Amino acid sequence: MPENVSVNCEAISIQKLKNYSMYIYNITTNVDESIHDQWLEWMKDTYIPAMLATGKFTKALMTRVLIEEEMGGITYSVQYTAKSATDLQAFIEEHASEINQLNKKYHGKMVSFNTKMKVIHSHE
């Protein structure tokens, strides 16, 4: 360690490091304010439960994205956790088209994109 660097290990909170082999299917959606409240309830009561009911995801985390979009609206991110790449791919091949049909209810009032991610590690 360089002479000018000192580390007080007692003052550092060491967190347990976990290695994961999990995947996240993130869906980011911008929703028109005119349907926001109805859409939010629908997501909680219908869409997210339908995603979990496929059996390919173990949990879902819904967050509001804290940015103001130039196009307006309110933006959310929902992260669905899959145990494996196989489960994620199976969802895409077996269920994605059917689940996406649920979005037709809000056609023209929302825009979404998805991102597939692999969890590398997590600090707890």
Question: Is there a contact between 62 and 78 (Cβ–Cβ < 8 Å)?
Answer: yes
Radius of gyration of the chain (CA): 19
Region 11-34 average pLDDT: 73
Question: Is there a contact between 88 and 23 (Cβ–Cβ < 8 Å)?
Answer: yes
Task: Work out the pLDDT band at 20, boundaries 50, 70, 90.
Answer: low
**Range from 17-26, 31-40, 77-86, 104-113 carrying the lowest mean pLDDT:** 17-26
In sequence order, what are the residues at sequence separation of 6 or more whose Cβ sits closer than 8 angstroms to the Cβ of residue 15? 123, 124
**Range from 45-54, 70-79, 103-112, 115-124 carrying the lowest mean pLDDT:** 115-124
Q: Is CATH 3.30.160.340 correct for 13-123?
A: no
Task: Work out the pLDDT band at 71, boundaries 50, 70, 90.
Answer: confident
The reported pLDDT for the residue numbered 9 is 42
Task: Work out the pLDDT band at 16, boundaries 50, 70, 90.
Answer: very low
The reported pLDDT for the residue numbered 121 is 86
